[in-house]
Chain A
Amino acid sequence: MPDHPPRVAERLLRWIVPGRDGDAIAGDLRETYEQRGGGSIWYWMQVMTCTQVWLSPYRRTVPDFRRDLHYALRVIRRNPGYAVTAMLCLALGIGVNATVFSLFDGMYFRMLPVPHPDRVVAIDRNGAMPVFWRDYVSLHGDLDAFSGVTASQARGTFMDVERTNFGIVAETVSTNYAEVLQVRPILGRWFSPADESAGAEPSVVISWRIWERYFRRDPNVLDQYVRIETQSYRIIGVAPDGFRGISPPALIDAWLPLVTFPIFRPQLRDPRGSGPPVNLTGRLAPGETAERAGAEIAVADAHLRQAYPSVTRFAAPLNVRIFRGITSPESRQSMLPISVLLLAVVVIVLLIACVNVANLLLSRAAVRQREMALRRALGASRGRLIRQGLAESVILALGGAMLGILLGHWTDHTLSAWLATSAPQSGWSGVSLEMNWRVAAFTAAVALICAVLFSLAPALEGSSTDLLTALKIDAPSGRGGRSRQRDFYVISQVALSLVLLIAASLLLRALQRTAQINPGFATDHRMYVRLFTPEPDFTPDSSTRLFTGLLEAARALPGVRDATLSFAVLGFMDGECVSADRNVPAVHASINVVEPNYFEVMHVPVLRGRNFASYDRPSSPRVVMINETLASRWWPGQEAVGKVLWLGCGDGIPRVASTVIGVVKDSKYGALDEGARPFFYVSRLQVWWNGFFALILHTTGDPSGLAVSLLKLARTGGPNLRIYELSTFDELVERSLWRVRWQASLLGGFGLLAIVLSVIGLYGVVAYAVAQRTREIGVRVAVGAQSIDIQWLVLAHALRLTTTGIVVGLLLSAIATRSLRSFLYGVSPVDPIAFSGAALVWIVISMLASYIPAQRAARVDPAISLRYE
């Protein structure tokens, strides 16, 4: 049976009700506790009820926080060194946590920058199947729970402003978009139903960023024209700064009415078609709840299913939820693994930083032992001292948090900018990290938790010091139990930072391995420029002729060995439905449309059969070339050459039979670290795809030297030929590694941060130990130890700590890196090189960190150190 009530609860009680009143209550509780015979939970509950005493306006004593704060500030002012170090360590740890949290905030919590964003809802099938324009048309009419529902689809496209051409993401929307979202234009207007009607001129609303960047904030931008893909649009309005559409993480730069977008016209004209897929977003009517709206939508969905049973039979039901963060489940899915990894990493960094501060506080507590003993002797209660220690920790933590927020701000900006440039093709480019009240609140909470955690450190040592011993002049301070705690802290720091270091090394090795992957086609001395012949400027005939002409001219350029055309390049391709039998449901496969000499120019070996030839024309029998994976999947064990492949998805459009004439070696199509992918090629001379080609040059010398000539050549295609990116294939491959490189860089950066923090900790402990053992060192020197022996003493201490930390860290890593498997292409999670390399690095670091303390120890003059104190 415990004979003392829970100490922590008692201390908490004395903190809530200070002074003799608190003593009396504590005494009462103790009496009752003994009568009851124990009961920690009961005790804690009683302590909690004492908050009523604290809250009551009739309370007799007020915890004097102000005095504690003044005292704490004075202490910190007297010793700014330790406070600054503590705050800086904390700022680092808290700052990176704030940044990663704002990532999660953007993914899950952030609402739209529109009025009353908590009334805006997303209506979808949880990503299982899209909602179509036809559904929107039948749904949005009579829904009472909503004040409006709008449909939108975000697509990557290109915009021409005067002579400049660049890629953007646009939203094609229904005309009630702005009404539903209640977003106001800063110039002009948004859409009205008239913009959707039959003879309406295509109109566009541009983003503030476009207005600023490409129109230099010209107030007369309205009624000017821009071109998006094949059509001109009149600018009718400019969106407010900060509004970037409702398709996160994409950042929208242009909005236009969906029905005016040329690609959709055939789909919209077909009376039996469902129209393009759209996202539905609604605003709840005043007084309505999301639940009621959900019920109404479920009823409407039921009607839909009745009307179109074949399409919606297997669809998940529509549901309604408040629009928060990133609503697309696929985007969330793809961002989740790296976000979780980042979170784990920054938590580790924070722990390491907190441990540093705990160490600092411990060493301060050791130094101030005498001061504490004196105050106790003069009547300060233990609770008082603890409260005051807590006040110091809170000040350090809040100071660190404020610096951390500033740092986090800077990290946000840098990270956003870096993401946009280094990961342009991915969903990450639109991730905007921002500091908002949620992030600030999270940061403050983290700071306070840290404060409590590391003020436990000196508290754990117990403020129950033997007054007499502590007041003695030459009191031995900080021996035994205390240094054991510090040693434990340093070991944990070494272990944790080793885990990060190993993770970073593994990712680096994965990067190395991935970069060494053979893409399956030649990348040296090759460059390309992306060209597009849009309708109605070009017909399929004129486009084909243009490309043929450009090809001839390209071959004739000096320094060019050969040239070819390809629709797909690494990371970009299209898909088509294929099947081996016309009656079997088709599956998706990736396709490229190429000039017949493509395989020769790109060094993709044709393994069997023949290549495309000039006599494979639109009027001749359709032919395809397939890769090994497609061949082995569809016709395992058989000869694929000569087999028939049916192209087409089969819904209304008749499938086309194509004969396989050749099998080529697999290459990488999407990314270097992808698995086997079934792929087929058609000849551009036989099949018209869409006039979107990369003109590829095989050069004799450095390809980038030909960039200017290539551009000049492209311009000879006339003003209607769209010219997009130009790049060498080496650069293209480099860019495709962005994700792996980015992961490795991030982790490497954090690993470095963790090491820096841990080195500070290690140095602190070793230096402190030296200071404590000054007398012992003096004795040793006096009895004949050499300076080498003394240095070895210090080094051995450091090495002992480090080695224990390394062993623990290696074990932890072996467990932890298993979860990194999905990031590690071609590298084992327990790769011995990474593990041993990291351990070695730490041993070297620990030797360096103990260098200065060792030198200081060696210089100890026994005559001085053997005097008192």
Chain B
Amino acid sequence: MLEYLGEFEQIVLLAIVRLGQSAYGVPIRHEIEKRTGRHVSVGALYSTLDRLEGKGYVHSWFADATPLRGGRSKRYFRLLPQGFGALARSKSMLDRMWHGVNVKREFHA
């Protein structure tokens, strides 16, 4: 049974895609906040990332301890094929729903 992604899950996955090789916690948050203007708490982000990993859409590993982080590793993320598939499914589903709908026109009608 294929599951559908929630809105925030999509946003997080897209952020990871956009960041390519350097997707760990801080840039992911930064990217989302920069592009959507939406404040993301670290708890919401990581619980979503854990959930995406649990469903098999992303994969994470530890690397790159730096003194800036008090000697702690970063946890990097990248999408797995199922993750790409889920994103594509969500996009096409939304496209189909959006097709022909002009929100501005309906709103001012």
How distant is the Cα of A45 from the Cα of B25 in the complex, in angstroms?
A: 17
> Can you offer 10 A-B residue contacts whose CB atoms are under 8 A?
A21-B46, A24-B73, A28-B25, A29-B42, A30-B68, A32-B29, A46-B41, A49-B42, A52-B44, A56-B47
Residue of A nearest to B46 (CB): A53
Q: A28–B42 contact, CB under 8 A? A: yes
A26 within 8 A of B: yes
Find A27's partner among B46, B50, B51, B70 (CB 8 Å cutoff): B70
A847 within 8 A of B: no
Mark B29-68 against chain A: 1 for CB-CB distance below 8 A, else 0: 1000000000001111011001101110000001001001
Q: A50–B46 contact, CB under 8 A? A: yes
Closest 8 CB pairs of A and B: A49-B43, A27-B72, A27-B69, A58-B54, A28-B25, A24-B75, A49-B41, A52-B43
A70 within 8 A of B: no
How distant is the Cα of A50 from the Cα of B55 in the complex, in angstroms?
A: 20
A453 within 8 A of B: no
How distant is the Cα of A58 from the Cα of B29 in the complex, in angstroms?
A: 20
B25: A residues at CB distance < 8 A: 24-25, 27-28
How many residues belonging to B are interface residues under a CB distance threshold of 8 Å? 24
Find B72's partner among A30, A45, A46, A50 (CB 8 Å cutoff): A30
A31: B residues at CB distance < 8 A: 26, 68-69
A57: B residues at CB distance < 8 A: 54
A52: B residues at CB distance < 8 A: 43-44, 46-47
Find A50's partner among B24, B42, B70 (CB 8 Å cutoff): B42
A74 within 8 A of B: no
Q: A24–B43 contact, CB under 8 A? A: no
Binding site for A on B (CB under 8 A): 24-26, 29, 41-44, 46-47, 50-51, 53-55, 62, 65, 68-70, 72-75
Residue in A31, A51, A59 whose Cβ sees the most chain B Cβ within 10 Å? A31
Q: A53–B72 contact, CB under 8 A? A: no
Q: B62–A24 contact, CB under 8 A? A: yes
B43: A residues at CB distance < 8 A: 46, 48-53
A20 within 8 A of B: yes
A600 within 8 A of B: no
Q: A58–B75 contact, CB under 8 A? A: no
Q: B70–A30 contact, CB under 8 A? A: yes
Residue of B nearest to A56 (CB): B47
Sample of 14 more A-B contacts, CB < 8 Å, known A17-B46, A29-B42, A52-B47 = A20-B62, A24-B25, A25-B25, A27-B65, A27-B70, A27-B72, A30-B70, A34-B68, A45-B41, A50-B43, A56-B50, A56-B51, A58-B51, A60-B53
Residue of A nearest to B62 (CB): A20
Given the contacts A25-B25, A46-B42, A48-B43, A58 and B72 also touching, CB distance less than 8 Å: no
Q: Give, as a whole number of angstroms, the nearest-CB distance from B69 to chain A.
A: 3
Residue of B nearest to A48 (CB): B43
Residue of A nearest to B64 (CB): A27
Q: Give, as a whole number of angstroms, the nearest-CB distance from B47 to chain A.
A: 4
Q: B73–A23 contact, CB under 8 A? A: yes
How distant is the Cα of A438 from the Cα of B70 in the complex, in angstroms?
A: 45
B26: A residues at CB distance < 8 A: 28, 31-32
How distant is the Cα of A20 from the Cα of B42 in the complex, in angstroms?
A: 15
Q: B50–A59 contact, CB under 8 A? A: yes
How distant is the Cα of A60 from the Cα of B54 in the complex, in angstroms?
A: 8
Q: Give, as a whole number of angstroms, the nearest-CB distance from B83 to chain A.
A: 15
Q: Give, as a whole number of angstroms, the nearest-CB distance from A4 to chain B.
A: 8
How distant is the Cα of A20 from the Cα of B73 in the complex, in angstroms?
A: 8
How distant is the Cα of A23 from the Cα of B71 in the complex, in angstroms?
A: 9
How distant is the Cα of A508 from the Cα of B66 in the complex, in angstroms?
A: 68
Residue of B nearest to A55 (CB): B47
